Amino acid sequence: MYYECITKKAIYSKMSEKSKIREITITDDKGAFNAILRRFSGSKDYDFEALTMLRRLLSNEKARILHFLKTKKPGSIYELAKMVGRDFKSVSDDIKLLETFGFVDMIPEKTGKRGRLRPVLVTTSMQINIKI
């Protein structure tokens, strides 16, 4: 019993070390909303073009992609596209957007003589704050 408790603690501490949180703050700026995505990891801020970009980022398609990245861990964008039942180009464009805002990292891998990029989910949580 004591050993199980230590193991669970070790697992939770490992998970918290790997967790990254993205924060999106939307502010009222002279009658128009502006949004900023901030990484807690101490890196630079990213500016959205108002709520349009936020809507693109929070689409159902991207939610499904994030879910499959978390649960199925596909080996490539092509494999991910097959899993979600969408064409390669659309999934690739969505992955690029998610990568731009720090939700996904592309890990280069070599299989034989060919290279490929494996999408990996690097965020475990997102907070959206609306300031009026």
Domain ranges, ordered by start, for the chain: 2-131
The whole-number average pLDDT for the span 101-106 is 89
**Long-range contacts of range 41-47, CB-CB < 8 Å, 24 or more positions apart?**
41/102, 43/102, 46/100, 46/101, 46/102
Domain 2-131 fold: Arc Repressor Mutant, subunit A (1.10.10)
Handedness of CA 45, 50, 51, 52 (dihedral sign): negative
Confidence at residue 30, expressed as pLDDT on a 0 to 100 scale: 65
Instruction: Give the residue with greater pLDDT, 23 vs 99.
Output: 99
